[in-house]
Chain A
Amino acid sequence: MGRFIVRRSLSAIALLLATSFLVFSFFELIPNYNPARAIAGRSANQTTVNQVAKKFDLDKPFYVQYANTMKLIFTGQVIDYQNDLNVVDQFRQRFPVTFSLVVPAAIIWLVVALLLGSISALRVGRLTDRAVMVGAIIGVSVPIFLLAALLLYLFAYKWAVFPNTGYTHFGDSPTQWAYHLILPWISIAVLSIGFYSRVLRSNLLDTVNQDYVRTARAKGLSQRKVFRTYVLRNSLMPIVTLFGLDFALLLGGAALVTETVFNLPGIGQYEASAIGNLDVPPILVGAIFTAFFVVVFGAIVDVLYAMLDPRVRLTG
């Protein structure tokens, strides 16, 4: 296990560096793009543009820029182009919001998807199954921003059950915190529930036709036992992998659409505006931040897999 951790940590660092380098390089390659001018504004004169360039080292060679930017990131001093804010501070402030959005939504969607997928498979072909599958397929056909818009219209305006947008910190008022987040949670969860319940159902139906399930029944085990011990466990493994990646990406700010529509001051919202302005430092930090989570959760998933399936051995 120790070796596993060491090897993983090393490859993680390599991955983070590679990601940051790639992202940074990408912005160098944009055709017809002069970042200094973009920041200074269309109407700025050349002196202003030069000042801006100097301020952000935009006149230095590529590798110097990269090295400097990385140094600034890891000393927590990097600032963004558009608003002169300290990026790392912004991330630190905004992370609790994203966390509040993502974690409960993930728990909801995981529990519901497992339930629905199982029920659907257990009642395969019958009305329950068809109903759930119809719901699931609609769920994956609706873009999150549209669902958010619909929910806002119905529950925040027409029926005024929930507040329309904005965020309340948990510390200030737990009820308000939840109140503001329910619609966003639903927006994120619906798509994932649709997707994961379909995947689980499909896995369950495949597993149930396996020979060892037949043997388990032939042993005289109760249906419940067979399902729990043999069918479910084997069907869950692919879901664990998918979930690990999804969750990591969301923590890193992939929920930017939801945050934007509901005006939640999370990491996603910050990244979205940065991307819209081609503001490199926040994008860079965001990429590294996300990559970090991907690596951590990737390792957790691998450990879980090794625990669940003895045929898998932990490799670096």
Chain B
Amino acid sequence: MAFDPVSRSGDPDAAPDGATLTHLDSGDSLLHAEPPPLDAWSEGRHAPAVGPWRLAGRRLRRNKVALAFLGLFIVLVAMCLLAPVYANRVAQIGPNTNNVTGTVNVRGHSENVVSLDGVPIGPTWTRHYFFGADTNGRDLAVRLLYGGRTSLLIGGVATLIIIIFGTLVGLVSGYLRGPVDGVLRWLMELVWSFPPVILGVVVGTALAFGGIGPIKGNSIWIPTIIIGGIYVPYLGKPIRGEVLRLREHDFVDAARVVGIPPWRIMMSEILPNAASTITVFVPIMLANAILLESYLSFLGAGVQAPNASWGTLISDGLPYISTTPSFSLIPGAMLVLTVLSINIVGDGVRDALDPRAQVRIKT
């Protein structure tokens, strides 16, 4: 270990390898979680300036786990979106087609879809009734994919609503302040104070009754709007906080002094700076929206018959949990895999955009 680089001849600029430099590790690594501030270390890099987004993208690309689950998520979404294709070409049966008396050809044998004592066929692992049938003879795999389609559609559109309105409300509220802020803030607090499930079930049940305006009671847009509305404050409040901080910066004053109108300032000065916060929230909100939809549908306040979603499928399968757990557990597994993938990708996005949030260890 006595090693003097000054007098060493040869190449003093070789990167130190583990053998020549000792590594000291003192047990708990928590208390040395981060090397001292790196200030000028990445400065004089003599390389083109890399913006924070490009940097984040690079970091994300290095995150193999997040990428893997992103891939999984894309596959799951594709499968569900292609539900009609599966129904028509592969299973050749629709999601709501009852087939109690039919038979199916499984590896050469002909079997009853629903047996004489009412027990539906289990997974056949073939194109027909891949995951088996339910007591009405419906193809579970087809229902699974259609249900997924519904769940993802509701979750996706709800997330869109959340992002658009949450950002808008946060921007307007935080930038304009005054009475507008007062009202919006009060509204946000109000919605935010109720537990999402309870609020969703109350409003969901109420609106499922008679619909609202031109939208019918059993339309899937009702849970979509409800879920979107419930989570708007969850984005609106942080964005408002961010905007409050940003508007104190000099560049905002500069824009104001030059005479740029408020809405322009909000859009072109403040919004881009809040963009990374918004981006971090997208996967979080998507996961929450899909989960909330499953809760609501499970409790009967979300997706209504004849539509199905993963939540309704799980609920339908619950009475059979002791005999045929797959009725509930297979849609459940799909749901968990989807939400899990989104959460993992979301963590990856957050780490990529905010490196301080995570200690990076390189072996």
A and B touch in the complex (CB under 8 A): yes
State whether B332 touches A205 (Cβ < 8 A): no
Question: C-beta contact mask, A123-149 vs B, less than 8 Å → 1, else 0?
Answer: 111100000000001101111111001
Q: Per a CB cutoff under 8 Å, which of B206, B212, B339, B356 touches A209?
A: B356
Q: Tell me the complex Cα distance, A139–B325, Å.
A: 20
Question: Given the complex of chains A and B, what is the CA–CA distance between A210 and B212 in angstroms?
Answer: 52
The interface residues of chain A, by DSSP majority, are classed as helix
CB of B318 within 8 A of CB of A261, answer yes
Residue A170, interface by CB 8 Å = no
Give the contacting residue for B209; candidates A33, A122, A206, A209; CB below 8 A.
A33
Q: Are A256 and B210 in contact (CB under 8 A)?
A: no
Residue of A nearest to B342 (CB): A141
Q: Are B210 and A33 in contact (CB under 8 A)?
A: yes
CA distance A144 to B196 in the complex (A): 14
Contact with A along B192-216 (1 / 0, CB 8 A): 0101011001110111011111000
Q: How many A-B residue pairs have CB under 8 A?
A: 140
Give the contacting residue for B198; candidates A32, A126, A144, A256; CB below 8 A: A256
Q: A141-B340, A145-B295 are in contact. Are A30 and B209 (CB under 8 A)?
A: yes
* Pick from A123, A142, A249, A275: contact of B202, CB under 8 Å: A275
Contact B340 A272 (CB under 8 A): no
* A150-B332, A276-B205, A283-B202 known; A141+B31 contact, CB < 8 A: no
CB <8 Å contact, A257 and B197: yes
Bound together, the chains give a CA A256 to CA B322 distance in angstroms of 22
Query: Does B299 interact with chain A (Cβ within 8 Å)?
Result: yes
B361 within 8 A of A: yes
Beyond the given pairs A26-B202, A209-B34, A213-B31, 4 more chain A to chain B contacts, judged by CB atoms under 8 angstroms and listed by A's residue number, are A123-B29, A149-B328, A208-B30, A223-B31
- Specify which of B29, B211, B299, B359 is in contact with A31 (CB 8 Å cutoff): B211
Interface residues on A, range: 35 or more
Output the least CB separation between B358 and chain A (Å).
8
The answer to whether B325 touches A125 (Cβ under 8 A) is: no
Report which of A30, A164, A204, A223 forms a contact with B206, defined as CB distance below 8 A: A30
Contact A146 B28 (CB under 8 A): no
A62 within 8 A of B: no
Could you tell me the distance in whole angstroms from the C-beta of A184 to the nearest C-beta in chain B? Answer: 15
- The reply on B347 being an interface residue by CB < 8 A is yes
Q: What separation, in Å, do the CA atoms of A31 and B207 have in the docked complex? A: 7
B contacts with A: majority SS: helix
Q: What are the 4 tightest A-B residue pairs by CB atom distance, in nearest-first order? A: A32-B210, A125-B361, A141-B340, A141-B339
As a 0/1 sequence over residues 195 to 217 of chain A, the CB contacts with chain B under 8 angstroms (1 = contact) are 00000001011101100010001
CB distance from A128 to the nearest CB of B (A): 11
Q: Which of A150, A271, A275 contacts B329 (CB 8 A)?
A: A150
**In chain B between 29 and 44, which residues have their CB closer than 8 angstroms to a CB of chain A?**
29-31, 33-34
B299 and A272 within 8 A (CB) = yes
Min CB distance, B182 to chain A, in Å?
A: 16
Complex formed: what's the CA distance from A26 to B203 in Å? Answer: 9
Known A140-B343, A205-B359, A209-B356: A121·B30 in contact at CB below 8 Å: yes
User: B359, A145: Cβ atoms under 8 Å?
Assistant: no
Q: Residue on B with the closest CB to A291?
A: B193
Per-position contact with B for A21-45: 1 when CB-CB < 8 Å, else 0? 0100011001111000010000000
A125 touches B29 (CB 8 A): yes
The CA of A227 and the CA of B31, in the complex, are separated in Å by: 8
- Give 12 pairs: A residue, B residue, CB < 8 Å, sorted on A: A30-B207, A33-B210, A122-B29, A123-B29, A137-B343, A141-B340, A141-B343, A143-B295, A143-B298, A145-B295, A149-B329, A254-B197
- Chain B residue numbers with a CB within 8 Å of A114 are none
* B28 lies within 8 A of A141 (CB): no
B242 to chain A, nearest CB (A): 18
Contact B206 A126 (CB under 8 A): no
Point out which of A38, A124, A146 has the most chain B C-beta atoms below 10 A from its C-beta. Answer: A146
Answer yes or no: B287 CB below 8 A from chain A CBs: yes
Interchain nearest-CB distance for B337 vs A (Å): 8
Bitwise, B272-311 to A at CB < 8 A (1) or not (0) is 0000000000000001000100110011110000000000
Point out which of A125, A143, A278 has the most chain B C-beta atoms below 10 A from its C-beta. A143
CA distance A164 to B315 in the complex (A): 17
Query: Is A260 an interface position by the 8 A CB rule?
Result: yes
CB-CB under 8 A from B197, the residues of chain A are 254, 256-257
